[in-house]
Amino acid sequence: MQTKWDELQVGLDVFFQDVNLLKQAFTHASYRNEHRKAQIQDNERFEFLGDAVLELLISDYLFHTYPHMPEGELTRMRAAIVCEASLVMFARRLSFDKYIRLGRGEERSGGRQRPALLADVFEAFLGALYIDQGVERVRTFVYAHLIPHLSDAKVGVDYKTALQEWVQQRMGVPLRYVIVEERGPAHAREFVVHVQVGGEVMGIGAGKSKKEAEQQAAAAALNVLTETAGEEQKAGVSQTD
Amino acid sequence: MQTKWDELQVGLDVFFQDVNLLKQAFTHASYRNEHRKAQIQDNERFEFLGDAVLELLISDYLFHTYPHMPEGELTRMRAAIVCEASLVMFARRLSFDKYIRLGRGEERSGGRQRPALLADVFEAFLGALYIDQGVERVRTFVYAHLIPHLSDAKVGVDYKTALQEWVQQRMGVPLRYVIVEERGPAHAREFVVHVQVGGEVMGIGAGKSKKEAEQQAAAAALNVLTETAGEEQKAGVSQTD
């Protein structure tokens, strides 16, 4: 018989060696309080660990993706990704809310959809996966399920602002977004946007809204520009002392 | 000829594949500003990464060392370890101040001993080591150079408070520290302390002050108690659902 834990693991393509770790990650303190005799443990300690794992993996991702972005901007982008609103979005996208083990009182008061609770479960899951299979397995998970969605409107990574600052500080040329295509029926519209830097198309983005398409285009342009800056810097690099 | 970078690496028993990463970790922005033509990069981005690496490694260490300590106390201990004062102590202990590349103005104004600057260099070094050799190498370094010194008076980990809370909440028995030995001449005094929990000696500590010896004893007792709690919990554990 397939349990809900099998279902969850198949859905995520993540298979725990110790499935009790997975269960614990989804166990809210209110559930533990109602099952004291069974010595069930809740997810709070896992959340402590998962938070740190996520922080490192996102830091590493940003550090390598934007090889010339100043520390202040990296910190800002990291804070936008590792925040409650983003974590809730990731938790919902993966249907984590279905699997949480809640106490009855918490369930009645709508705890299953409470943002702080969902964000905690998401971090606890990452912590459990880290304990079970190590940091590289969590990295693979993060690259499969989080990184592709960082420019979604709901995640606060604002590539447009980052691109604007980059262009202002280093290039001093105008920046412009142009909608080059609108396609699909009204209820499933898709937009394609070019971003022009100094008149040259530097990134292309697509999305279900203009805003999303623009963010995608800005992210693509940032990739190109920071990469180019990297090449120039490499060519001129020399270390003294 | 042995450079200062060779000397540093021999002293730390850490050898970089790319020694430029090591140099960059020790480069303050003020030095980069004075060497603009040489395209030297400073350590700020490395610090961003090193901070996250350290946070994870300390979280992991605490999580496994205190398998039954609640999340709130873990968070408090982590904050005490990953704080400026501790990082400065670690940086000084490893003589990092000698190797920092500073601008002249910063040097004149005493920047080499400025706590924030030393703490940043320490984190940047961990970041550089992570880039060069990965998280496990940084873990080895942290276990060699940080973990053994966590109960030093200067690091804010307060094992006495942690032990007191543990004993109060779970055991409700009295807690007492007893100096069992004072040895050495006045200028190099050493104290040995027993901590009794409910009348039973549960930890022994030694140190150059009573306070340090008590902290050591409390740390030892916590290890024993949380370990015992672990065994009891394991014996009674069962997961439902």
CATH number, domain of B207, equals: 3.30.160.20
Q: Which residues of B102-126 are buried (b: 16+ CB within 10 A; e: fewer)?
A: bbeebeeeebbebeebbbbbbbbbb
B212 marked ligand binding residue:
no
Q: How confident is the model at residue A66 (pLDDT cuts 50, 70, 90)?
A: confident
Bridge partners (DSSP) of residue A73 are none
- Judge: B48–A59 Cβ closer than 8 Å, yes or no: yes
Q: How confident is the model at residue B227 (pLDDT cuts 50, 70, 90)?
A: low
- Judge: B241–A101 Cβ closer than 8 Å, yes or no: yes
Do B124 and B194 belong to one domain?
no
Residue B208 lies in a domain: yes
Average pLDDT over residues A162-180: 87
- Judge: B59–A52 Cβ closer than 8 Å, yes or no: yes
User: pLDDT tens, A133-166?
Assistant: 999 999 999 999 998 887 664 455 678 888 888 8
Do B190 and B125 belong to one domain?
no
Amino acid at B35: H
Tell which of B110, B125, B149 closes a domain.
Answer: B149
Q: Between these two residues, A197 and B236, which has the higher pLDDT value? A: A197
User: Which residue among A74, A135, A237 sits closest to B39, beta carbon to beta carbon?
Assistant: A237
The most distant pair of C-alpha atoms in chain B lies apart, rounded to whole Å, by 69
Q: What is the DSSP letter of A156?
A: -
User: pLDDT tens, B35-67?
Assistant: 887 788 999 999 999 999 999 999 999 999 887
Q: Within the 123-142 window of chain A, which residues sit less than 8 Å (CB to CB) from chain B?
A: 135
What's the structural domain count of chain B? 2
Do B134 and B70 belong to one domain?
yes
B49 shares contact with chain A (CB less than 8 Å): yes
What does the pLDDT read at residue A150?
Answer: 78
Whole-angstrom distance, CA of residue A89 vs CA of residue A84: 9
pLDDT at A23 over 50: yes
CA distance A179 to chain B (A): 35
Do B74 and B192 belong to one domain?
no
Do B185 and B129 belong to one domain?
no
pLDDT at B104 over 90: yes
Do B54 and B141 belong to one domain?
yes
CA distance B65 to chain A (A): 13
User: pLDDT tens, B127-177?
Assistant: 999 999 999 999 999 999 998 887 664 455 678 888 888 888 888 899 999
Domain extent at residue A174 = 159-236
Do A70 and A184 belong to one domain?
no
User: pLDDT tens, B164-200?
Assistant: 888 888 888 999 999 988 877 877 788 888 899 988 8
B106 marked ligand binding residue:
no
Residue A95 lies in a domain: yes
User: pLDDT tens, A75-115?
Assistant: 888 888 888 888 998 999 999 999 999 999 999 999 999 99
Q: Which two tokens stand for residue A186?
A: 């009204």
HEC assignment per residue over B194-236: EEEECCEEEEEEEECCHHHHHHHHHHHHHHHHHHHHHHHHHHH
Q: Within the 187-216 window of chain A, which residues sit less than 8 Å (CB to CB) from chain B?
A: none
- Judge: A53–B49 Cβ closer than 8 Å, yes or no: no
Do A145 and A196 belong to one domain?
no
B34 marked ligand binding residue:
no
A176 shares contact with chain B (CB less than 8 Å): no
B152 is catalytic: no
Q: Report the candidate in B197, B199, B231, B187 with the shortest Cα–Cα distance to residue B217.
A: B197
- Judge: A233–B135 Cβ closer than 8 Å, yes or no: no
Residue B241 lies in a domain: no
User: Which residue among B48, B56, B237 sits closest to A52, beta carbon to beta carbon?
Assistant: B56
Average pLDDT over residues B86-113: 93
- Measured between beta carbons, the chain B residues lying within 8 angstroms of A98 are none
Do A137 and A43 belong to one domain?
yes
Do B39 and B115 belong to one domain?
yes
Q: Report the candidate in A228, A200, A209, A214 with the shortest Cα–Cα distance to residue A161.
A: A214
Q: Report the candidate in A225, A230, A66, A224 with the shortest Cα–Cα distance to residue A157.
A: A66
Do B134 and B167 belong to one domain?
no
Contact A86, A155 (CB under 8 A): yes
CA distance B110 to chain A (A): 21
Tell which of A110, A128, A149 closes a domain.
Answer: A149
Do A110 and A134 belong to one domain?
yes
Q: Is A193 helix (H, G, I), strand (E, B) or coil?
A: strand
Whole-angstrom distance, CA of residue B46 vs CA of residue B25: 7
Which residue in the block uniquely carries the two structure tokens 């690099």? A237
A197 CB contacts (<8 Å, ≥6 apart)? A167, A171, A173, A175, A221, A225
Tell which of A149, A172, A206 closes a domain.
Answer: A149
What does the pLDDT read at residue B196?
Answer: 92
- Judge: A48–B241 Cβ closer than 8 Å, yes or no: no
Q: How far is CA A29 from the centre of its chain?
A: 25
- Measured between beta carbons, the chain B residues lying within 8 angstroms of A40 are 238-240
Q: Within the 62-101 window of chain A, which residues sit less than 8 Å (CB to CB) from chain B?
A: 63, 69-71, 74-75, 78, 101
Can you give the CATH number for the domain in which B18 is found?
1.10.1520.10
Whole-angstrom distance, CA of residue B111 vs CA of residue B101: 10
Q: Report the candidate in B78, B86, B80, B120 with the shortest Cα–Cα distance to residue B102.
A: B120
pLDDT at B240 over 50: no
Q: What are phi and psi of B196, to 5 degrees?
A: -105, 130
Residue A154 lies in a domain: no
pLDDT at A240 over 70: no
ipTM: 0.72
